[in-house]
Amino acid sequence: MLEQIRKISQLEQMARRQGRRKLVLCAAGDEHSIDAVYDAYRAGVIDPILVGRKEEIDKYAGRCKDFDRFTVFYEPDEEHVVRRSVSLVVEGEADILMKGNVTTATLLKGVLNKEYGLREKRFLSHFALFEVPNYHKLLAITDVALNILPPLKHKVRIVKNAVDFFRKIGVEKPKVAALSAIEMVNEDMPSTIDAALLSIMQRRGQIKNCLIDGPLAFDNAISKESKIQKNIPGEVAGDADILLVPNIESGNILYKAFVFFADAKVAGLVIGAPFPIVLTSRSDSEETKRNSIYLAALSVKMV
């Protein structure tokens, strides 16, 4: 287990101490991704492997003074780019897979391809780790990018992925807030029912190594004042480590609100595979891409 991460700014130094990891940038013809990869290389965190169409990669080669030290694979089309990229990490020739100028659906389809991707069935979910100026510790949101409207059985898997990952970055018993619009169970609002069931499952040992409470509205989950005003018992309200969102829309909105309105720093990964997958939005900054690379480098062989 790593020492507990308390600030996003710690990621670079901690990742550097772990030694260089090999990162594959899939469809490397993307300006911000190449810049982030180059910065992580100069920081001593990764050794880059670029995979993409020749004309797309070469036009960015001049941005990187050490480009001749990178491993580069030129492929003729998107299908071959994804195949080569995924095969490199699945076969152990690289440690981290990163999305470049390719859609999320195309990349993950390759990861799950039984011919050259993962041989065994895995449940993948997205994990975003935030440093929000007005919150007293790091805060994770899951799932904002992969699972659209997860049923209860998938929410269980999403929670387990997040809890396992959080424990490995230093929080032994993370507090999970299962979010909805209100803190009471309402049969007309299915997310409240799922949240209550998850809470019961945790108490009865079906979900281990964490505390779960729900349903909780967002203010109940992160504000101790709100917890007191609404007389909500338990250890999770007002002190959550992980926010489990009810669907991808609410998660995506919350993610972007944190970044654009709250000036939050963030690192995001797809977890659940044997290797970390850096999967950022096209609107994410170069800083967010770098932070995500550093978090991925720290998490190699523990995802």
* pLDDT of amino acid 283: 75
Q: Which residues fall within 8 angstroms of residue 159, CB to CB, at 6 or more apart? A: 142, 176, 198, 207, 210, 212, 242, 244
Residue recorded with tokens 């993962």: 118
What is the structure's pLDDT at 16?
A: 93
pLDDT of residue 113: 95
Nearest to 50 by CA among 17, 81, 79: 81
The whole-angstrom separation of Cα 71 and Cα 22 is 10
Residues 228, 109: Cα–Cα separation, whole Å: 46
Residue 128: predicted pLDDT: 97
Q: What residues have CB less than 8 Å from 172, skipping those under 6 apart?
A: 1, 209
> What whole-number distance in Å separates Cα of residue 137 and Cα of residue 5?
9
Bridge partner list, 48: 23
Q: Residue 275 has what pLDDT?
A: 96
One-letter amino acid of 62: G
Say what the alpha-carbon torsion angle 279, 88, 31, 258 is, to the nearest 10 degrees.
10
pTM of the model: 0.94
Within 8 A by CB and 6+ apart from 238, the residues are 220, 221, 222, 223, 224, 225, 226, 227, 228, 232
Per-position b or e across 171-194, b if 16+ CB within 10 A of its CB: beebbbbbbbeebeeeeebebbbb
Question: What pLDDT does 31 receive?
Answer: 84
- Going residue by residue through the chain (303 aa), what tens digit of pLDDT does each one get? 556 788 999 999 999 998 999 999 999 988 888 889 999 999 999 999 999 999 988 887 777 778 888 899 999 999 999 999 999 999 999 999 999 999 999 999 999 999 999 988 899 999 999 999 999 999 999 999 999 999 999 999 999 999 999 998 889 999 999 999 999 999 999 999 999 999 999 999 999 999 999 999 999 999 999 999 999 999 999 999 999 999 999 999 999 999 999 999 999 999 999 999 999 877 788 899 999 999 999 998 665
Q: Are 214 and 203 in contact (CB under 8 A)?
A: no
Q: Which of 254, 241, 265 is nearest to 163 (CA)?
A: 241
What single letter denotes the amino acid at residue 289?
Answer: K
Instruction: Write down the pLDDT at residue 3.
Output: 64
Q: What is the pLDDT of residue 147?
A: 96
Cα–Cα distance, 146 to 248 (Å, whole number): 7
Tokens of residue 190, six digits = 């299915």
Q: What is the pLDDT of residue 2?
A: 58
